[in-house]
Chain A
Amino acid sequence: MKTLYDKIWDAHIVHEETGKPALLYVDLHLIHEVTTPQAFAGLRLANRKVRRPDLTFATLDHAIPTIDRNLPFNDKIAEKQVEALRKNCEEFGIKLFDLDRIEQGIIHVFGPEQGLVQPGQTIVCGDSHTSTHGAFGALAFGIGTSEVEHVFATQTLPQSRSKNMLIKVEGELPFGVTAKDVILAIINEIGTDGATGYVIEYAGAVFENLSMEGRMTVCNMSIEAGARAGLIAPDEKTFEYLKDKPFVPKGKNWEKAVEYWQTLKTDDDAKFDKVVEIEAETLAPFVTWGTSPGMSVKVSENVPDLTDAKNETERKSFERAFEYMALNPAQKVEEIEIDRAFIGSCTNSRIEDLREAAKVIKGYKINEKVSAMIVPGSMQIKKQAEEEGLAQIFVDAGFEWRDAGCSMCLAMNEDILQSGERCASTSNRNFEGRQGRGGRTHLVSPSMAAAAAIAGHFVDVRNWKFND
């Protein structure tokens, strides 16, 4: 009896022998400008080719500007990196969705949107948030640049099997509680290394009821719990999302594909190495207060006190985090004032995230001391949000409305926090300096970030006065 993970694994073994990692076939290789130049250089040095350029797809996202993209970059080093990807894709015959294309976007938004990501596949990318694609029941994980080169040359990867973890969230999410809050709660519960060595399967009513966008948000942050990958079994919602997307099978092949995809679920009596159960009713909107994604509390609570630390090591990290974040122990979350708000990233930049934010923002103006930006995950989403009237709501409220990219999630371009600035961010990492040296990041859902931008401090979105 097998788990979903076991089934996908078994279907991709090219070679296996005792005492060695298995050689797994890779169905889809997504690439971007930052983690590939050295891999292409390696190929050139060894006089190798990309084995399957037809299974390799590129876009630009990490280092690119999100405004004035028709102009030369201000950052010449970033421009050189972008140029390198263009040249490499041309030389090795890889399809690149460049900045002038409507498909361009954050690689983990682009892949699903084009139907490149499909159930049962193995997917890799030189980016840790590749775990996003587990939302489709695909085994998807981030790799380093040496492994990128390995996949280029062989379309395979030597891999050791992970353990199986089941995270079950049953019940119904209370009003105002989103996919982002679910995954922040899970990381809070199991810790940032709680799933190291595991592949997580998320199951239960909450995940079944989430949209594909919500499922992507959850799987996206599996890496923040240390997991190799996160998975959600594909269902009708998955097939509905994929149908007619550019790269999915068509006609008879679609029917065959769906027939196969329907078999992709964990057998009833399959065993998991670890099981975690959470009740949806106990969840609330979460806000991170520290410098690790596990350091979070419910918005209605206070940040912890030093006495809440479980041991000396944790107490030290609490102290360090309080100092970096300029917070006092046991401070009330709703009293934390912000300078900036960022809605975007591969975690929360899809159309549903923007709709969620727009509901909160409609009819309001952002607080006069806050500057805020919304960065859609792809140019296609940007267009859709404009057509749906969401963009107008954002602009009327005073948000900057940008072009697609990773932007201030990792602040590799000019979208960056200044030292000491505090930001309500829908991204995935609140590490020291992540959004700019000395910048202070609080991870929240899109509706919570939107509400904080308007109020000027964190507020409980469950009590928000919506202008319908």
Chain B
Amino acid sequence: MNNFIKHKGLVVPLYRANIDTDQIIPKQFLKSIERTGFGQFLFYDWRFDENGVEKTDFVLNQPRYKNASILLTGKNFGCGSSREHAPWSLEDFGFRVVIASAFADIFYNNCLKVGILPVVLDEEVIAESVRKAETVEDYQLTIDLENCKIFDEHGFETAFSIDDFRRYCLLNGLDDIGLTLQYETEIADFENTRPGWKNFARGT
């Protein structure tokens, strides 16, 4: 997994509540058996019309937000399906950070596995940042995961919180499976001490 220490980047506001994973990446693109190449399909139905032509009024298509790496969005972002293709497509498109007042549970976990940092801030703070991202040309934020701080160059600074262990894993780009395999003996013990009928799935 990519590690995440500090990131400074251009902010794009997509300020709607309840953006679901079907919007982030529509189902017709889930048939690929690869892990890469999903960025071109990100927000597909919003970015392109029915003939595949870019919709110029959609915020991600506006020249001023090209190369944005921080997505500022509404509450309950990533609700719906568990598809990890959603953070894969965000990452492949160039996003490193998503900021919302609340995230859907599975999506939040998936982001951490992919190395995208989901940052939770108060709704009022987000609304204010949206205003800046809309009005200030080339509005950038810096997210410092080591110190759990987020700030801009216009005097804004606030702290955010994230589970300590998750933060540690992100900072070091640690592979969960590798960590878990340290407990191999305990896993084997757990399996060996279960009564046979609980170690089921044999129908006997």
- Closest B residue, CB atoms, query A146: B113
Least CB distance from A322 to B in Å reads: 15
Interface band, chain A: 35 or more
B102 within 8 A of A: yes
B154 within 8 A of A: no
Residues in A with CB closer than 8 Å to B110 are: 144, 146-147
Q: Which residue of B74, B191, B203 is within 8 Å of A247 (Cβ)?
A: B203
Residues in A with CB closer than 8 Å to B75 are: 193
Would you mind naming 9 contact pairs between A and B with Cβ atoms under 8 Å apart? A27-B198, A34-B83, A77-B32, A143-B109, A144-B110, A144-B113, A145-B84, A147-B110, A155-B191
Task: Kindly supply a per-residue 1/0 record for chain A positions 144-173, scoring 1 wherever the CB is within 8 Å of any chain B CB and 0 otherwise.
Answer: 111101100111101010000000000000
Residues in A with CB closer than 8 Å to B34 are: 38
A456 within 8 A of B: no
- Closest A residue, CB atoms, query B87: A144
- Closest B residue, CB atoms, query A80: B33
A192 touches B176 (CB 8 A): no
- The docked-state distance in angstroms from the alpha carbon of A246 to that of B204 is 9
B114 within 8 A of A: yes
Least CB distance from B162 to A in Å reads: 12
Q: Is the interface of B mostly helix, strand, loop or mixed?
A: loop
Which 5 A-B pairs rank lowest in CB-CB distance, beginning with the nearest?
A37-B33, A146-B113, A144-B84, A144-B110, A253-B197
Interface residues, chain B, with chain A CB atoms under 8 Å away: 16-18, 20, 22-23, 26-28, 30-35, 45, 50, 74-76, 79-84, 87, 102, 104-106, 109-110, 113-114, 163-165, 176-177, 179-181, 183, 186-187, 190-191, 195-198, 200-204
Other A-B contacts than A14-B186, A317-B18, A412-B30, 8 sampled, CB-CB below 8 A, are A19-B165, A21-B165, A75-B31, A154-B177, A160-B163, A192-B18, A256-B195, A292-B18
A window 214-236: CB within 8 A of B:
226, 228
B35 touches A128 (CB 8 A): no
Residues in A with CB closer than 8 Å to B26 are: 433, 437
Task: Kindly supply a per-residue 1/0 record for chain A positions 24-36, scoring 1 wherever the CB is within 8 Å of any chain B CB and 0 otherwise.
Answer: 0101100000110
Interface residues, chain A, with chain B CB atoms under 8 Å away: 14-15, 19-21, 23, 25, 27-28, 34-35, 37-38, 41, 46, 48, 51, 54-55, 57, 62-63, 75, 77-78, 80-81, 84, 115-116, 118, 121, 126-128, 141-147, 149-150, 153-156, 158, 160, 192-193, 196-197, 226, 228, 246-250, 253, 256-257, 260, 292, 313-314, 316-317, 320, 410-412, 419, 429, 431-434, 437-438
A23 touches B183 (CB 8 A): yes
B201 touches A116 (CB 8 A): yes
- The docked-state distance in angstroms from the alpha carbon of A256 to that of B114 is 42
- The docked-state distance in angstroms from the alpha carbon of A20 to that of B18 is 29
Least CB distance from A406 to B in Å reads: 10
Q: Which residue of A118, A149, A432, A437 is within 8 Å of B177 (Cβ)?
A: A149
- Closest A residue, CB atoms, query B112: A146
A412 touches B45 (CB 8 A): no
